[in-house]
Amino acid sequence: MPDITVVLPSVLQPLAGGQSLLTAPADGAVTVAALLDAVTGGYPVLARRIRDETGTLRRYVNIYVNGEEVRRLKGLETEVSAGQEVLIIQSVAGG
Amino acid sequence: MGTMANAESYILAIGTKKGLWLAHSTDRKEWSLTGPHFLMSEIPSIGIDTRGDSPRIMVGVRSEHWGPTVAHSDDLGATWTEPEQGAISFPEGTEAALERIWQIYPDAESRPGVVWAGCEPISVWKSTDGGEHFELNRGLWDHPHRSEWGAGYGGAAAHSIVVDPSGEKVHIAMSTGGVYRSLDGGASWEARNKGISAYFMPDPNPEFGQCVHKIAADAAVDGRLYAQNHHGVYRTDDDGENWESIAEGLPADFGFVMLTHPRRSGTAWVVPLKADGERIPPDGRLAVHRTDDAGGTWKRLETGLPDHEYNSVLRDAASVDTAEPVGVYFGTRGGEVYASADEGESFTEVVSHLPDVLCVRAAVVSGAAMPAFSA
């Protein structure tokens, strides 16, 4: 089965056992939310860094699907297919 | 380090806008520091639990990007542990998400393992396993007043928790909402703000809605607490049924800090700021004020403090230790931290030019607990 790859920023990689890429098998399109469930299921601390306990994407965490930030698409309901790359990047915040 | 094996020493944890520093001293005058821990995360709350064999430092951590969490260290900061499932997490059905941990309060010696937390959104939590997992206090969360509680400038939070020796009487303070009291260990809560001004509201004497900045319990007199309000310094002698002003003799009645002595009744410390609209020390002169008669009179304490200072001292950026005489510690939003080994009579600078100091906590530890600082 083809994979969907999630690319982690370096600051989050220690929470995924040092991995920079997490992959989930995809049988057709899945939502970003379902993809995050799949790839962070074994890494609960990582999961909390990306989404709060209501499942909402944290305000200054951006997720890009094919170069588009998901908030400009359908948020975590945006669909992603095998072969596509999903980037997690922290936005500029703080001072 | 061997010669220090049986000596007492002191740790001072300094939570800032951009990380945590840990200071260590044998005389509360000369300090060595480690840090930053959690660089680029703010540390708005710290609890040092000295009830076990070795001290446990618990910190509320909040990253602007990655959210809030609680971590703890049992080796004075050499290593940190974050519980896998998160120490504080709103349960399903509440539709709420944790924003910030404002208070971590280890309970009495007689209740080892019990730690309380006060959070934003306004909520109180209790752990029975030393701060690794907290349960939401449902009595407060389901309180009919909750929808009317507001946000102070820093956010809507329960920021003060005071538990009496029996464990039955619990006072909390929130901004805004004011003081709430439970007489059944936290099962149910009632507002107790009579006498505390809410001058910023149409009715300045509401049942609740006050912006109480900090409360602290008297060391020995049952039912006596002190409050630093958003303008107003108060004392109650009847568990909050009535509050009366003790601001006379202070240069200003605004401020955030309220500290009490761990053993001596009647002694409390405040750090006055000029006003809501001018959040600087009065006349730009930073001073701590101490009462030894439960607010009847105040003594100005400024020896060792700078000639001018225009930064404020936030509500948890001040602490006492339990030594004799008691140590008094505070930090400013300008990143200066001061320590007094003599109850505030004189201060020495611990460190300067840190990021904004949000929280300090101090504890007396045995020499055996020192190796992390030798690195």
Kindly provide the ipTM of the predicted complex, given to two decimals.
0.93
Read off the pTM: 0.95
Dihedral over Cα of A59, B85, B106, B234: its sign: positive
For the CA atoms of chain A, what is the radius of gyration? 12
Residues of B in Cβ contact (< 8 Å) with A88: none
Task: Answer yes or no: is A18 within a domain.
Answer: yes
CATH code, domain carrying A57: 3.10.20.30
What integer pLDDT is reported at residue A94 of this predicted model? 59
Closest-CA distance of chain B to residue A2, Å:
30
What integer pLDDT is reported at residue B2 of this predicted model? 40
- The whole-angstrom separation of Cα B282 and Cα B254 is 10
What integer pLDDT is reported at residue A95 of this predicted model? 59
Q: Under an 8 A CB cutoff, do A48 and B97 touch? A: no
Closest-CA distance of chain B to residue A1, Å:
30
Residues B136, B125: contact at Cβ < 8 Å? yes
Task: Answer yes or no: is A44 within a domain.
Answer: yes
* Tens of pLDDT, residue by residue, chain B (375 residues): 444 445 789 999 999 999 999 999 999 999 999 999 999 999 999 999 999 989 999 999 999 999 999 999 999 999 999 999 999 999 999 999 999 999 999 999 999 999 999 999 999 999 999 999 999 999 999 999 999 998 877 789 999 999 999 999 999 999 989 999 999 999 999 999 999 999 888 888 999 999 999 999 999 999 999 999 999 999 999 999 999 999 999 999 999 999 999 999 999 999 999 999 999 999 999 999 999 999 999 999 999 999 999 999 999 999 999 999 999 999 999 999 999 999 999 999 999 999 999 999 999 998 645 555 544
What integer pLDDT is reported at residue B7 of this predicted model? 79
Residues of A in Cβ contact (< 8 Å) with B38: none
Task: Answer yes or no: is A84 within a domain.
Answer: yes
What integer pLDDT is reported at residue B200 of this predicted model? 87
Closest-CA distance of chain A to residue B259, Å:
31
Residues of A in Cβ contact (< 8 Å) with B84: 44-45
How many domains does chain A contain in total? 1
Give the model confidence (pLDDT) of B228-284 as tens digits.
Answer: 999 999 999 999 999 999 999 999 999 999 999 999 999 999 999 999 999 999 999
Look at strands A30-31 and B178-182 and give their pairing: unpaired
Closest-CA distance of chain A to residue B91, Å:
8
Q: Which domain holds residue A7?
A: 3-90
Where are the domains positioned within chain B?
2-374
Q: Under an 8 A CB cutoff, do B65 and A93 touch? A: yes
Task: Answer yes or no: is A95 within a domain.
Answer: no
Burial B294-313 (b: 16+ CB within 10 A, else e): bbeebeebbeebbeebebbb
What integer pLDDT is reported at residue B204 of this predicted model? 87
Q: Under an 8 A CB cutoff, do A45 and B84 touch? A: yes
Q: Provide the residue type at B51 as one letter.
A: R
Q: Under an 8 A CB cutoff, do B96 and A90 touch? A: no
Of A44, A45, A58, the CB nearest to B65: A58
Of A44, A48, A94, the CB nearest to B67: A48
The CATH architecture annotation of domain B2-374 reads: 7 Propeller (2.130)
What integer pLDDT is reported at residue B212 of this predicted model? 96
Q: Which of A50, A54, A56, A63 to mutate to test the interface with B (most CBs of B within 10 A)?
A: A54
- The whole-angstrom separation of Cα B192 and Cα B272 is 24
Q: Under an 8 A CB cutoff, do A61 and B65 touch? A: yes
What integer pLDDT is reported at residue B368 of this predicted model? 47
